[in-house]
Amino acid sequence: VAEALFKSCLGNGIGVALEPEYAADKLFSPAYGSFIVELKPGASLDDVDGITVAPLGATTSEYTFSACGEKIDLAWLQGAWERPLEGVFPYRSHGAGEDSDGSVGAVEGSTTSGNVGAVEAVTFDGGTMRHKYSGPTLTHPARPHTVIPVFPGNNCEYDVSRAFERAGAEPTTLIINNLTASDIAESANALAAEIDRSQIVMIPGGFSGGDEPDGSAKFICALFRAPQVTEAVRRLLNDRDGLMLGICNGFQALIKLGLVPYGDIRPMDDTCPTLTFNTIGRHQSKLVRTRVASTLSPWLSRCTPGDIHTIAISHGEGRFVASDELLVRLKNAGQIATQYVDAEGIPSMDLSVNPNGSVWAIEGITSPDGRVLGKMGHTERAGSGLYRNIPELTPGDQFQPLIEGGVDYFA
């Protein structure tokens, strides 16, 4: 019982206070086949023959474990429980503000005493969306055709397609076949043709090619570097004023192609930014808070700098890295789109806030004119009925109107 309650508290960040008469020996005795059930205040369980139902206690907002006349700080207890195997199974990265023993010290330049590793909250003050659509006239209301190439290992195409359809676009998924060399060539031709009849290219998330060999998005990049696909992308962006979006695995492809932050498919060198392995050394899957830093991009036209959204992330290679010189250029040009932030809206290098350790807590960036956007968070994973067990979410908090902004661009 003690272990089950303790782990439940950790998972939800809440405390528990047991009934005063609950005996200590029951806490640490086996309770095979038993269930701990959490009920709303005033609710009760119906009697079941042969089943004993006994009240345990109540959850508390204070992060403590209260039982048998004693109260234990759960933050301290959590540290004692996690620390012994941290060297084998790391659960955090040792970043800004952590001493060699894992304890927290002062951080120079920290903007808040509660946020160790706080970094600057970037806000682009160069105006809102600068680029206006001037391509071929669409029907009214505009329903931009969107091609979603599905590579082996992608797993977000259904969510993405639904999100674009809900926003008013006309999505088409194109399966990329890699069984034989001729299949790959045929898929490249088919993708180029779909891009030529589309206004939007959206590269979805997942693990294309199993993130092999040695890193993510290599197969996506190889296909987009096929001459016919590269030229189709350039016609989309340069001649028809189209848009591109890449989320998670799609962001990894955009950045390794050069489409963000440079706006074109180009050779890569050691001065280019990239997305690499999370500092923790393993996959991270959780909800994060992201803050809009710039509305340069048409994708963010429905947002305001400072808007905060709760977004799902799931990746092993999401750490954005770039030189200091490039970071300053991106900031000044308004190309830093979104940052990971804490509960107070402050960007941070703290792993609980910035789960991959991205420099400057960057979650998303754009091309120079904002028409190509890459981000790690799964904006498409939102809808009515989701995240009902996340108490800190307010109505609409998990909905980021990014795809809707992209569709608006063509209106």
pLDDT by residue, tens only, the chain of 411 residues: 999 999 999 987 899 999 998 888 889 999 999 999 999 888 888 888 888 888 899 999 999 999 999 999 999 999 999 889 888 777 666 544 343 443 333 333 333 334 557 899 999 876 666 678 888 877 766 799 999 999 999 999 999 999 999 999 999 999 999 999 999 999 999 999 999 999 999 999 999 987 776 778 999 999 999 999 999 999 999 999 999 999 999 999 999 999 999 999 999 999 999 999 998 888 999 999 999 999 999 999 999 999 999 999 999 999 999 999 999 999 999 999 999 999 899 999 988 899 999 999 999 999 999 999 999 999 999 887 888 777 667 655 668 999 999 999 998
Please give the pLDDT value at position 23.
86
Q: Which of 194, 317, 363, 380 is catalytic?
A: 380
| Options 248, 303, 363, 404, the catalytic residue | 248
User: Three-class SS of residue 354?
Assistant: coil
- Estimate the crossing angle of helix 2-12 against helix 74-82, to 10 degrees: 100
Spacing of C-alpha 223 from chain mean position: 25
Q: Is 221 a catalytic residue?
A: no
Residue 211 has what pLDDT?
A: 74
Q: What is the pLDDT of residue 103?
A: 33
Coil, helix or strand for 59? Answer: strand
- pLDDT of the residue at 42: 86
Give all domains of the chain, ordered by start, each with its CATH number. Answer: 2-85 (no CATH), 145-408 (3.40.50.880)
Q: What is the b/e burial string over 354-381, where b = at least 16 CB atoms within 10 angstroms of the residue's CB?
A: bbbbbbbbbbbbbbbbbbbbbbbbbbbb
The pLDDT score that the predictor gives to residue 125 is 72
Distance (Å, rounded) from C-alpha 233 to C-alpha 210? Answer: 25
Distance CA 41, CA 222 (A): 57
Q: How far is it, in rounded angstroms, from Cα 234 to Cα 241?
A: 10
Q: Does 317 qualify as catalytic in the annotation? A: no
Choose, from 194, 221, 378, 404, the residue flagged as catalytic: 378
Residue 303 annotated among the catalytic residues of the structure: no
Q: Would you mind telling me the total number of residues written for the chain in this entry?
A: 411
Task: Tell me the two tokens of residue 270.
Answer: 């050691």
According to the model, what pLDDT value does residue 140 have? 66
